Structure 1
Amino acid sequence: MFQEIFYEDYQVGDSRTTLGRTITEADIVLHAGQTGDFFPHHMDAQWCETQDFGQRIVHGTLTFSVGVGLTAVVVNPQGMSYGYDRLRFIKPVFIGDTLHTVVTISEKKDHKKRDNVGIVTEHLDVQNQHGETVLVCDHLLIVNKKATDNG
């Protein structure tokens, strides 16, 4: 779905919550194959039983990918991703956990070099099925400003 949202349309404090997605063992295996991260923390169930968490932990990069991916429900031709700041893994994620993301517009500012765009910061709070935060980060968007006619 396409929806044009300009810089001026974003309001600090606005928030939305995504749908959920349950993490499966297949997700972990596929992610390990794609990234080459076969650490035993993710792949060796028997070894993990002897560790603090007692079970395999989902890759942080997989948690990030799913948490961000859940937010991508609308294509905005007026904006594009500029990157992510302040990424932190707060709690471990396990097979069977269902994640959703709370997206809150936390900041808007003018671009330092381009008058026709602004930077919108979306704070992402990825939570598990218990409402516990497992990951946080700030997603920076470069968004077109509405054209103005200065005569």
Structure 2
Amino acid sequence: MRFEDRYFEDYEVGETRTTTGRTITESDIVTHAGQTGDFFPHHMDKEWAATQPFKKRIAHGTLAMSIAVGQTAGDINPQSMSYGYDRVRFIAPVFIDDTITVTAEITQKRDHKKRPDEFGYVDELVSVVNHDGQTVLVLTHIYLVNKRGAH
């Protein structure tokens, strides 16, 4: 990891970044189930899942989301913080042994409504694909970013 000061003015709409792949393991699913208390058979019961339409266990959507967002968190920016996530959509299932890759694109910048001289919001469209190139998850990650010279 590295530290990099990027202020609101430094972000450009249209800039993109793509991560390396990350393979989802059975251990990931078991750990996530323990952390969240979500032990639904869709995730945990191999025999039951075989009787369902997907025929195998699927990763929790929140697990895929957590890993995807974590993949984009390689740089620490002291001038920015996560403000939240909008429009989260689980498009297709993620299975054990699927490898996911993330592309993040800056899609919008806007001033903070109450303190426009100090802060702005930066929206980043996060798209997650599996090893077959199928989109499995999309969301908008919103950052609250300091403006240059405001602090």
With the length of structure 1 as denominator, give the TM-score of the two structures. Answer: 0.96
Work out whether 1:130 is the aligned partner of 2:107: no
Secondary structure of the residue that 1:68 maps to in structure 2? helix
- Give the CA deviation at 1:147: 1.2
Q: What is the CA–CA distance in structure 2 between the aligned matches of 1:130 and 1:104, rounded to whole Å? A: 21
Superposed counterparts of 1:10-89, under 5 Å:
10-89=11-90
- The residue aligned with 1:112 is 113
Question: Deviation string for 1:12-49 (max 9, x for gaps)?
Answer: 01101011110000000110011000000000000111
The structure 1 segments of at least 4 consecutive aligned residues displaced by more than 4 Å after TM superposition are: none
Letter in 1 for 2:18: T
Secondary structure of the residue that 1:140 maps to in structure 2? strand
Instruction: Give RMSD over aligned pairs.
Output: 0.8
Consecutive unaligned residues of structure 1, counting only runs of 5 or more, are none
Secondary structure of the residue that 2:68 maps to in structure 1? helix
Secondary structure of the residue that 1:113 maps to in structure 2? coil
Q: What is the CA–CA distance in structure 2 between the aligned matches of 1:121 and 1:45, rounded to whole Å? A: 38
Q: What is the CA–CA distance in structure 2 between the aligned matches of 1:26 and 1:146, rounded to whole Å? A: 43
Work out whether 1:147 is the aligned partner of 2:149: yes
Q: What is the CA–CA distance in structure 1 between the aligned matches of 2:112 and 2:134, rounded to whole Å? A: 34
- Give the CA deviation at 1:8: 0.6
Question: Deviation string for 1:69-111 (max 9, x for gaps)?
Answer: 0000000000000000000000000000001110000000000
- Give the CA deviation at 1:51: 0.5
Letter in 2 for 1:14: E
Letter in 1 for 2:76: V
- Give the CA deviation at 1:131: 1.4
Consecutive unaligned residues of structure 2, counting only runs of 5 or more, are none
Letter in 2 for 1:105: I
- Give the CA deviation at 1:130: 1.3
